[in-house]
Amino acid sequence: MTKGTVVKSTGSFYHIKTPEGKIFKGKIRGKFRIKGLKTTNPVAVGDIVHFKPLDNETVLITHIEPRKNYLIRRATNLSKRYHILAANIDRVFVLYTPAYPETLLPFLDRILVSAEAFDIPAVMVINKIDLFKDDPENRRKIERFKEIYGKAGYPVLEVSAKTGENLDELKRYMRDKTSMFTGNSGTGKSSLINAVAGLDLRTKEISGVHRQGQHTTTFAEMHPLPFGGNIIDTPGIRAFGTIETKPQELGDYFPEIRRWKPECKFNNCIHVHEPGCAVIPQVDNGNIAPERYNSYLDILEEISGENSPYR
């Protein structure tokens, strides 16, 4: 029996890299499922798997080692199932652009909630910064973005794959880590990975009609970094459903809410209309950004169902 790390998933096959650097083409047989987790992909990039020869060309995955963590999102049109984006991640980089295409903050907040739920440190990356240097409106959006997520406690970097701005700082966060880039289609993930990893991943121009990103990465894939560590490139996402959690637990996945939660009068406070809530005054005085609090309320309503009392 041999083991290795899944470095590419094509849906039907998995490329597995052994510690010696050999690559095997693997597949699974039958209903291979992880107990307690309903997913569309039971094996994900980053998984450490055991396998045995199947024929002259392929191997059979027989076992997945316990995951340190994973990042998941709701599977499209399957509300009770999830898609694992990647597993065993040391840090996730969440990409944002104020335009070309514009990234909506509630979308990013859902990614961050999933990362917080699985204890994956996140870094916010404002990409394509070279496009916005002389654009007052988009510079205003960028400064507000930095304020919102800086207050929440996340590192925020402004970077450009084209000019190389702050790439050294980005590499510092990535060095000797297994990192993952995620974000909207078109935010420049592949170009940024090309710049930091010395690769030649395929990229595509933004759609001129709708000013939206186009998918260039088709399958999740892990690439080694020349300065140590690995980077996982995933297909761009246009929607990110919420994870399953209890209303009383959601605030734990917003660092700025979690910070004030111990000061609430009641330990099961939902931070909406309870007397003695310590969170709501921090929204009122600006210590918690209203944009983040509104995302919290939206997700709270979603997980509470149609008759949610939290609005």
Q: Are residues 264 and 143 in the same domain?
A: no
Model pLDDT, residue 60: 95
Which pLDDT value is given to residue 39? Answer: 77
- 33-42, 177-186, 221-230, 277-286: least confident range: 33-42
Would the pLDDT of 9 be above 50? yes
The candidate with the shortest Cα–Cα distance to 299, out of 128, 144, 110, is 110
Average pLDDT, integer, range 157-184: 95
**Arithmetic mean of pLDDT, 22-27:** 94
CA–CA dist 282, 271 (Å, integer)? 11
121 φ, ψ (degrees, to nearest 5):
-60, 140
Among the three residues 233, 268, 287, which one is the final residue of a domain in this structure? 233
When pLDDT is cut at 50, 70 and 90, the band that residue 207 belongs to is very low
In this structure, the answer to whether residues 208 and 151 fall within a common structural domain is yes
pLDDT of residue 204: 52
Share of the chain above pLDDT 70, in %: 86
Q: How high is the pLDDT of residue 214?
A: 42
- Domain span holding position 50: 2-66
How much is the average pLDDT of 21-49? 82
Q: Of 45 and 76, which is predicted with more confidence?
A: 45
Evaluate whether residue 48 is within a structural domain: yes
**Residues 6 or more apart whose Cβ sits within 8 Å of residue 26:** 6, 13, 14, 15, 16, 49, 51, 58, 59, 60, 61
pLDDT at 123 over 80: yes
CATH number of the domain to which 34 belongs: 2.40.50.140
Looking at the structure, tell me whether residues 213 and 295 fall in a common domain. no
DSSP letters of the chain?
Answer: -EEEEEEEE-SS-EEEE-TTS-EEEEE--SS---TT--BS-SS-TT-EEEEEE-SSS-EEEEEEPPPS-EEEEEETTEEEEEEEEEES-SEEEEEE-SSSSPPPHHHHHHHHHHHHHTT--EEEEE--GGGGTT-HHHHHHHHHHHHHHHHHT--EEE--TTT-TTHHHHHHHHTTEEEEEE-BTTS-HHHHHHHHHT------PPPTTT--------S-EEEE-TTSEEEEE---BS--PPPP--HHHHGGGSHHHHHHGGGSSSTT--SSS-TT-SHHHHHHTTSS-HHHHHHHHHHHHHHH-TT-S--
User: Residue 144 falls within a domain, yes or no?
Assistant: yes
pTM of the model: 0.88
Torsional sign, CA 50, 54, 60, 62: negative
pLDDT(166) > 50: yes
**199 and 225 in a common domain:** yes
Q: 259 and 293, same structural domain? A: yes
pLDDT digits (tens, 9 = 90+) for 232-278: 988 766 666 677 788 999 999 999 999 999 999 999 999 999 999 99
Task: Please check the confidence at residue 302 and state whether its pLDDT lies above 90.
Answer: no
More confident residue, 220 or 7: 7
pLDDT at residue 194 greater than cutoff 70: yes
Both tokens of 84, joined, read 């694992």
Please give the average per-residue pLDDT across 127-146, as a whole number. 96
Identify the band that residue 29 occupies on the pLDDT scale cut at 50, 70 and 90. confident
Q: Does the residue 138 lie in any domain?
A: yes
| Co-location of 86 and 200 in the same domain | yes
CA Rg, the chain, in Å?
A: 20
> How high is the pLDDT of residue 76?
54
Rounded Cα distance, 222 and 85, in Å: 12
- Residue 53 domain flag: yes
pLDDT of residue 72 exceeding 70, the answer is yes
Q: For residue 132, what pLDDT is reported?
A: 96
Task: 134-137: list long-range contacts, CB under 8 Å, 24+ apart.
Answer: 135/99
For residues 179 and 230, is the Cβ–Cβ distance under 8 A?
Answer: yes
Indicate if 93 and 218 belong to the same structural domain: yes
Residue finishing a domain among 35, 66, 97:
66
Q: Are residues 138 and 198 in the same domain?
A: yes
Whether 58 has a pLDDT exceeding 80, the answer reads: yes
Do 51 and 84 have their domain in common?
no
Is the pLDDT score of 213 beyond 50?
no
What pLDDT was estimated at residue 36?
57
Neighbours of 152 (CB within 10 A): 22
Of the given ranges (62-76, 163-177, 238-252), which has the lowest mean pLDDT? Answer: 238-252
Residues 191 and 268 in one domain: no
Q: Are residues 172 and 83 in the same domain?
A: yes
What local confidence, expressed as pLDDT, does residue 82 receive? 79
Averaged confidence pLDDT in the chain: 87
Is 87's pLDDT higher than 70?
yes
User: Of 66, 94, 116, which residue constitutes the final position of a domain?
Assistant: 66
Residue 36 lies in a domain: yes
DSSP code per residue over 136-170: HHHHHHHHHHHHHHHHHT--EEE--TTT-TTHHHH
Distance of alpha carbon 80 from alpha carbon 245, whole angstroms:
13
Give how many domains the chain has, as a whole number.
3
Residue 62 lies in a domain: yes
For residue 125, give the CATH number of its domain: 3.40.50.300
- Residues 205, 267, single domain; the answer is no
